[in-house]
């Protein structure tokens, strides 16, 4: 069965080569005749490309036929293959995936669909990617630009959409950037709920699971961080449109997208942590000593300077922290941890870090839910705004602060107490960027 497939692959490669050759011929015909002798000039980008393609085609094909067995198939489907053979371009996702929740899920489970057709589509696409890897002309950072596989289809291979999740109790532990690294936590009851009436009341955050309700939107930027128009279709087919005041355009002139899992769970398998969050986690876990004056502020500052390469960054991080803490007993473990955070979340070679890959599951560091739930999206008569636009509609603040305060639970929910005052403005991301506080 496999030899069959390699034969098909060979055929496809031959066809690919033939098409390329024809194209080249047509182009060459337009060029003056005297240039038509076969000349390989490595100083020309075009020739380097052709040579690289040829070398790759040949080596790749020999490799595949020689090892044209189940082992090759297995290997090209492994996380090792995706993450390591293609080291530089895939490094951010490979490294991030090591410490994201479903770390045991292989890359191909989400990025390659089931069945032979999907396998070939991806592997042929892979030949193109290898070619770009050899020529080192891939995009930095990388984004998925083709029409992605529908999330519903990918995620629902493992996650059951009818599941009623109900209420999750989550504590978000932070430290301020002051001398004492003052702890500050928020304990929330998140109303995740569910989207299927046969398994629980339809409502809460997973109301958007798109089982009985359909939410569509348009975005005015490539990463859908600005959403000026939203349309809801309910179970009876009734539609409601919401738009922001400053959007006067015609939505049908834009690409209308259907909301799915990825509009909230941006990168479920390889989350790049913002430095502020990564340092909070390290302090909470005891890997950074909370007694070191200004440890939070200094580590975040050291991580977020504009570096152009990893060696340069690691060196500069060590130098700045050693200057701040002359005692080596304090400095050494701090530097080791800061460097580990850098390696796991910053990829200067790929121009990739938290700033290039937003996470929209909340609203603190990116607008996330507030792209729609900000009280500014209204129906055309101006009478109705999108529901769930006050601080207690998605979650209840059960407790907040530190020490004794965290034990005083309030079943009705507290008003959010922001460091030193009550606060309910819908623009957390204006100040909170995931990096040093503005
Ligand atoms: C649980 C599903 C899942 C797994 C497992 C997974 N990915 Fe992804 N990946 C995604 C989703 C979802 C996106 C974002 C798609 C979008 O924004 O359109 C993505 C995006 C990417 C991108 C584009 C850059 C980016 O971060 O948006 C790359 C490259 C990538 N993944 C590589 C990998 C590699 C390598 C592995 C294995 C180490 C892997 N992925 C494992 C779901 C997954
Ligand atoms: C091949 C199976 C598989 C696929 C496909 C998959 N997941 Fe998962 N997912 C898992 C596993 C396994 C876990 C970890 C469960 C656990 O540890 O309890 C998980 C956990 C999660 C979590 C919880 C993470 C946390 O931090 O607690 C979310 C959210 C999630 N997945 C979303 C998605 C989304 C969105 C997609 C589609 C892009 C997706 N998953 C595709 C297997 C999968
Ligand atoms: C409107 C935004 C939104 C959409 C759409 C959405 N989720 Fe979630 N989901 C959340 C939030 C918020 C949580 C709470 C946990 C958190 O903050 O990570 C959550 C939690 C989860 C969890 C973890 C439950 C646990 O027990 O820890 C899974 C798994 C999950 N979602 C899967 C999915 C899948 C699969 C889809 C698509 C069918 C989806 N979600 C669509 C916002 C969303
Ligand atoms: C693309 C726009 C959009 C985004 C992004 C979005 N929502 Fe919604 N959400 C809606 C719309 C539209 C409704 C329906 C409200 C209505 O018709 O008044 C809704 C309804 C809700 C409801 C009420 C469900 C019910 O019980 O009726 C909750 C809770 C909610 N969203 C939470 C979230 C959370 C949490 C996030 C971020 C993780 C989020 N939403 C992101 C558009 C969005
Ligand atoms: C549309 C739903 C929604 C609304 C409205 C909403 N939140 Fe949230 N909020 C969330 C979700 C979802 C999370 C969890 C994000 C995560 O798990 O990363 C969250 C997290 C938080 C956190 C913890 C963040 C952290 O990292 O420490 C605070 C504090 C918070 N919200 C305060 C507020 C305040 C104040 C308001 C009113 C201005 C508000 N929220 C309105 C959905 C909402
Ligand atoms: C006007 C600017 C501003 C706005 C708007 C703002 N914050 Fe803050 N926030 C700050 C500053 C400054 C700190 C102190 C940071 C420090 O010391 O590291 C802080 C600290 C916090 C902390 C604890 C420390 C940390 O790094 O997480 C949380 C949690 C928090 N804010 C949540 C929110 C939420 C949720 C919103 C939106 C509802 C919000 N903030 C809006 C400026 C702002």
Give 229's strand partners.
218, 243
Residue 291 has which token pair?
A: 């007694």
Query: Running DSSP on this structure, what letter comes out for residue 191?
Result: E
- What percent of the chain has pLDDT above 70? 70
- Closest residue by CA, ligand 6 atom 6: 428
Mean pLDDT of the chain: 80
Contact in structure between 228 and 257 (CB atoms under 8 Å)? no
Q: By mean pLDDT, which of 82-91, 178-187, 348-357 is the weakest?
A: 82-91
| Residue 310 pLDDT > 90 | yes
pLDDT of amino acid 4: 39
Candidate of 266, 362, 402, 432 to mutate for ligand 5, largest count of ligand atoms within 8 Å of Cβ = 362
What distance in angstroms lies between residue 421's CA and the mean position of ligand 6's atoms? 11
Q: How many residues does the chain have?
A: 438
For 159, phi then psi, to 5°, come to -95, 135
pLDDT at 33: 42
pLDDT of 7 above 60: no
321 lines ligand 1 (CB under 6 A): no
pLDDT band at 161 (very low <50, low <70, confident <90, very high): confident
Band (pLDDT 50/70/90 cuts) for residue 195 is confident
What pLDDT does 389 receive? 79
CB 350 less than 6 A from any atom of ligand 1: no
pLDDT digits (tens, 9 = 90+) for 346-359: 999 988 999 999 99
The Cβ-side half-sphere exposure at 128, using a 13 Å CA radius, reads 9
268 C-beta neighbours (distance < 10 Å), count: 20
Q: Is the confidence at residue 176, as pLDDT, over 50?
A: yes
Which-ligand-closest: CA of 230? Answer: 4
DSSP string, 319-340: HHHHHH---HHHHHHHHHHHHH
Q: Tell me the percentage of the chain whose pLDDT exceeds 90.
A: 43
Residue 11 binned pLDDT confidence (cut-offs 50, 70, 90): very low
DSSP lists the bridge partners of residue 241 as 231
The DSSP letter of residue 372 is T
Taking alpha carbons only, the member of 367, 339, 372, 55 closest to residue 207 is 372
Q: At what angle do helices 328-345 and 295-303 cross, to 10 degrees?
A: 40
* Closest Cα to atom 24 of ligand 1: 143
Of the chain, the end-to-end C-alpha distance in Å amounts to: 60
Task: Look at residue 123 in the predicted model and tell me its pLDDT.
Answer: 55
Closest CA to 62 of 70, 54, 51: 54
Which pLDDT does position 1 carry in this prediction? Answer: 35
Look at residues 436, 283, 429 and name the one whose alpha carbon lies nearest to residue 359: 429
Q: Which residues line the pocket of ligand 4, CB cutoff 6 A?
A: 203-205, 207-208, 215, 217, 227, 230, 232, 240, 259, 263-264, 361, 368-369, 371-373, 386-388, 393-394
The pLDDT of residue 135 is above 90: no
Domain extent listing, the chain: 2-148, 166-268+358-431, 275-350
Cβ of residue 429 lying under 6 Å from some atom of ligand 1 = no
C-alpha of residue 414 to centroid of ligand 2, in Å: 31
Per-residue model confidence (pLDDT) at position 231? 96
Q: Name the residue at shortest CA distance from atom 13 of ligand 2.
A: 102
pLDDT of residue 290: 96
418-428 pLDDT, tens digit per residue, is 887 877 777 89
Residue 301, pLDDT above cutoff 70: yes
Q: Each residue of 87-111: pLDDT tens digit? A: 667 777 878 877 666 666 788 787 7
Q: Which ligand is nearest to the CA of 217?
A: 4
Protein residue with least CA distance to atom 13, ligand 5:
362
What pLDDT does 3 receive?
39
Which residue, by CA, sits nearest to atom 6 of ligand 1?
A: 107
Task: Enter the DSSP assignment of 352.
Answer: B
What is the model's pLDDT at position 96? 80
Report pLDDT for 31. Answer: 46
Q: Are 191 and 204 in contact (CB under 8 A)?
A: yes
Task: Determine contact, residues 194/206, Cβ cutoff 8 Å.
Answer: yes
Nearest CA owner, ligand 6 atom 13: 437
Q: What is the tens place of the pLDDT at every residue in 23-42?
A: 665 665 554 444 433 444 55
Mutate to test the pocket of ligand 2, among 159, 165, 192, 271 (most ligand atoms within 8 A of CB): 159
pLDDT band at 44 (very low <50, low <70, confident <90, very high): low
Categorize the per-residue pLDDT at 194 as very low, low, confident or very high, splitting at 50, 70 and 90.
Answer: confident
Listing DSSP states for 160-171 in one string gives -TT---EEEEEE
pLDDT of residue 271: 86
Best mutation site among 188, 367, 372 for ligand 4 pocket (most ligand atoms within 8 Å of CB): 372
Alpha carbon nearest to ligand 3 atom 17, residue = 361
Burial class from Cβ neighbours inside 10 Å (0-12, 13-18, 19+) for residue 55 reads exposed
pLDDT at res. 192:
92
Residue 325 reports pLDDT greater than 50: yes
């Amino acid at each position: 069965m496999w030899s069959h497939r390699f034969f098909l692959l060979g055929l496809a490669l031959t066809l690919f080569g033939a098409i390329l050759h024809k194209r080249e011929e047509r182009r060459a015909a337009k060029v003056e005749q005297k240039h038509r002798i076969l000349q390989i000039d490595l100083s020309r980008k075009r020739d380097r490309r052709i040579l690289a393609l040829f070398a790759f085609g040949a080596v790749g094909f020999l490799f595949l036929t020689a090892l044209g067995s189940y082992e090759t198939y297995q290997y090209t489907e492994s996380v090792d293959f995706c993450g390591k053979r293609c080291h530089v371009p895939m490094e951010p996702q490979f490294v991030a995936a090591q410490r994201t929740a479903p770390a045991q899920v292989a890359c191909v489970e989400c990025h390659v669909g089931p069945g032979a057709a999907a396998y070939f589509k991806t592997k042929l696409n892979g030949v193109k990617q290898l070619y770009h890897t050899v020529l080192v002309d891939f995009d930095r950072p990388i984004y998925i630009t083709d029409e992605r596989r529908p999330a519903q289809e990918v995620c629902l291979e493992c996650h059951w959409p009818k599941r009623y999740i109900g209420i999750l109790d989550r504590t978000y532990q932070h430290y301020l950037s002051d001398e004492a690294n003052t702890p500050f936590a928020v304990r929330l009851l998140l109303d995740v709920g569910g989207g299927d009436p046969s398994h629980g009341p339809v409502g809460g955050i997973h109301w958007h699971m798109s089982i009985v309700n359909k939410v569509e939107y348009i975005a005015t930027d490539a990463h859908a961080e600005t959403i000026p128009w939203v349309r809801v279709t309910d179970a009876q087919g009734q539609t409601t449109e919401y738009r922001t005041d400053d959007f006067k355009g015609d939505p049908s002139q834009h690409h209308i997208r259907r909301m799915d899992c990825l509009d909230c769970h941006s990168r479920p398998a390889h989350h790049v942590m913002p430095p502020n969050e990564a340092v909070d986690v390290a302090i909470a876990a005891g890997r950074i000593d909370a007694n070191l004056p200004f440890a939070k502020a200094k580590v975040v500052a050291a991580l977020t300077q504009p570096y152009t390469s990893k060696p340069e960054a690691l060196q500069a991080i060590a130098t700045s922290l050693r200057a701040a803490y002359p005692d080596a007993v304090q400095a050494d473990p701090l530097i080791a941890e800061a460097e580990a955070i850098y390696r796991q979340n910053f990829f200067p070679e790929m121009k990739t870090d938290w700033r290039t890959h937003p996470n929209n599951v909340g609203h603190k560091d990116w607008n996330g839910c507030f792209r729609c739930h900000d009280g500014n999206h209204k129906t055309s008569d101006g009478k109705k705004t999108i529901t769930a636009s006050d601080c207690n509609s998605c979650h209840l603040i059960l407790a907040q602060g530190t020490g004794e305060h965290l034990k005083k639970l309030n079943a009705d929910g507290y008003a959010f107490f922001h460091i030193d005052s009550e606060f309910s403005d819908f623009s957390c991301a204006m100040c909170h960027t995931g990096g040093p506080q503005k």
